[in-house]
Amino acid sequence: MTNNIHYQIDKISDVYEDYIYMSNYETLKTEYGICKYCGTTEKDKFKSRAHIIPEFTGNKNWFCFDECDDCNNIFSAYEYSLKNFGAFKNSHLPIKGKKRYPKYVDGHHGFTNQFRDNNLLVMNAKKMDDFLKIEENKVKITSLTMPFVPLNVYKCLVKIAFSLMEKKDFKKFDSGISWLMDKKMKIEPVIPHIMLFNPNLKPVREPIGVLLKKKNENNSPEFSFIFIWGFYLFQIFPPFNISDKNLDFSNLKLPIMSEFVTKTKEGKFNLAHFNMNLLERIQTLESISFDLI
Kindly tell me the burial class for residue 117, based on how many C-beta atoms sit within 10 Å of its own C-beta (0-12, 13-18, 19 or more): exposed
At 2 the pLDDT is 62
At 191 the pLDDT is 81
Confidence label for 1 from pLDDT (cuts 50, 70 and 90): low
Q: What is the mean pLDDT of the chain?
A: 92
The answer on pLDDT for 263 being more than 80 is no
Please report, rounded to a whole number, the percentage of residues in the chain having pLDDT higher than 70: 99
Lowest-pLDDT range, 163-167, 193-197, 206-210, 274-278?
274-278
At 268 the pLDDT is 79
The three-point CA angle 144-147-151 to 5° equals 125
| Sign for the pseudo-dihedral over CA of 147, 185, 195, 121 | negative
More confident residue, 243 or 135: 243
The three-point CA angle 85-117-153 to 5° equals 15
At 69 the pLDDT is 97
The answer on pLDDT for 152 being more than 90 is yes
Domain ranges of the chain: 5-82+147-291
Confidence label for 74 from pLDDT (cuts 50, 70 and 90): very high
Helices (H), 91-149: none
- From residue 190, how far is each of 89, 241, 281 by CA, in Å? 33, 9, 24
- What is the rounded CA–CA span in Å between residue 268 and residue 283? 25
- What is the rounded CA–CA span in Å between residue 220 and residue 5? 10
* 181 CB-near residues (< 8 Å, 6+ apart): 37, 38, 71, 74
Beta bridge partners of residue 105, listed in sequence order: 112
Q: What is the pTM of this model?
A: 0.94
Contact 12, 256 (CB under 8 A): yes
